[in-house]
Structure 1
């Protein structure tokens, strides 16, 4: 369909590469791509970072592991739409939880979904939603590390942060690579948070919402399909780049 100008029904005309030519001159697509990359940056730094920190903390516990596994994993079982609606209430200017708390403390209310701050505000539920999933992946990888390694490190006087940096992380580097690829490619599927919280307005347009608007709102299925092809190619390129950057001889045990 990307080679046609079509509304997906009866109006259909072969246009060869016209849609692809339009793709590379589309300023809105460029803005949507930059916004997607910004969300991706937040996901890689905070979603993966927080998941790794939580996994290290829980792995070092002697009691309560099951409880924290359940608590941290819980957000992933909630649908993105439900979480989005919850944050609609949290960010509400008049009666939202955040502004009510600010008003109680004597501060001015904030328009959380403004032109300048909407994307960062939407990044919060996006990050929170999948932290638990990556936390479980990291925790599972750490549980497979033989206890002899840690015993040898303890004898050598290596503990705390040094043990994490020089022992745990190198031994799960392949799992970290998998998580990073999942996080990066997963960002390309972000839609529900953006759509429910902002409808892609206020500078929050991402590739998923832009494709949806073109195909199902403007009924330009030809160009919408072209944007979909771009998303797939973009995801493959990012995955290859991530693999190359993290390419190294993996430690086996």
Structure 2
């Protein structure tokens, strides 16, 4: 008895999907589960290492640089994510206005997103140079002595937040798409009720934009905890001054690929994974109270 048509279709489906399945297993699943084991070993790239149990995790709890990296990352996340939402929504509302030449303005605000992170870092190092930088030059023209910015432990993280906010064009585009998805009928009803522009934004725009804000909030938190390229380029991987720009993923990278402490780095990776999963789950739980979907 021959093979049925449905079975042949299933076999061919698995055959066509097999390259992706093999790639997923070899390049994602195997390294992922291997890292769990390696986090309990002293494995390095040069030596196989030995099973050390929870030693890597205990050492991390006593590592001052680890806690500096945790603090810097949390600091960046706490300030950057809310500011990116506030500035992103504000810019989207401005760019949603019906003004002549608005396409040009939208392009201008999106252009920084196209700049590579390394080029962005080089540009801002020049702008924030305490001696001949453009920012301090403008402040000096109005009688203000600008700080050392990236060279000052107190100003280094705010400087990084400023740089990151300069390139939120991608989030602005998503907010714009969300604004275009809001039916005009709601605004017409608000006009009938005599609502002003502020009341429309408060009672119509923001509630119906909350699904987009929720998405950008989740992605923003995940991205902020994985901040790497910009601070690494700014400090050449040193995290200076005084480890004020040593971020979690930077220290993870240093342990894995500079010091070859792969087991130690694997332990850091899984701690980061658990933190991100916990925060993401918390955001999803609270979303039921503030995220409003049309038709509900």
Q: Tell me the CA shift for residue 104 of structure 1.
A: 4.8
Conserved? CA contact 1:35–1:204, under 8 Å: yes
Q: Which residue of 1 aligns with 2:159?
A: 121
Match of 2:35 in 1: none
Aligned length: 252
Q: How does 1:139-158 map to 2 (within 5 A)?
A: 139-158=176-195
> What is the CA–CA distance in structure 2 between the aligned matches of 1:142 and 1:103, rounded to whole Å?
40
Q: Distance in 2 between matches of 1:128 and 1:46?
A: 11
Q: Structure 2 vs 1, CA of residues 110 and 252 (structure 1 numbering), >3 Å: closer, same or farther?
A: closer
In structure 2, what is the Cα distance between the partners aligned to 1:241 and 1:10?
A: 39
Distance 2:68 2:47 in 1: 31
Q: How far, CA to CA, are the matches of 2:67 and 2:140 in structure 1?
A: 38
- How far the C-alpha of 1:141 sits from its partner, in A, is 0.7
More off after superposition, 23-32 vs 214-223: 23-32
Q: Distance in 1 between matches of 2:85 and 2:95?
A: 15
Deviation digits for residues 116-169 of structure 1 (CA, Å, limit 9, x no counterpart): 21111111112222x211111111011011111111111111131110010011
1:8 counterpart = 2:8: no
Q: What is aligned with 1:250?
A: 292
Q: TM-score, normalised by structure 2?
A: 0.79
- 3-state SS, counterpart of residue 231 of structure 1: helix
Q: Secondary structure at the match of 2:166?
A: helix
Distance in 2 (alpha carbons) for counterparts of 1:229 and 1:216? 17
Report if the CA contact (8 A) 1:181-1:239 is conserved: yes
Superposed displacement of residue 229, structure 1: 1.3
Q: Which runs of 5+ in 1 are unaligned?
A: none
Partner of 1:80: 117
Q: Deviations over 1:65-98 (max 9, x none)?
A: 3223212221111111110111111122332222
Task: Flag the structure with larger Rg.
Answer: 2
For each residue in 1:5-40, what CA deviation from the matched residue of structure 2 results, as whole angstroms up to 9, or x when unmatched?
122123522212211222233332222112111111
Tell me whether 1:201 sits opposite 2:240 in the alignment: yes
Give the match for residue 218 of structure 1: 259
Tell me whether 1:235 sits opposite 2:276 in the alignment. yes
Gaps of 5+ in 2: 1-37
Partner of 2:7: none
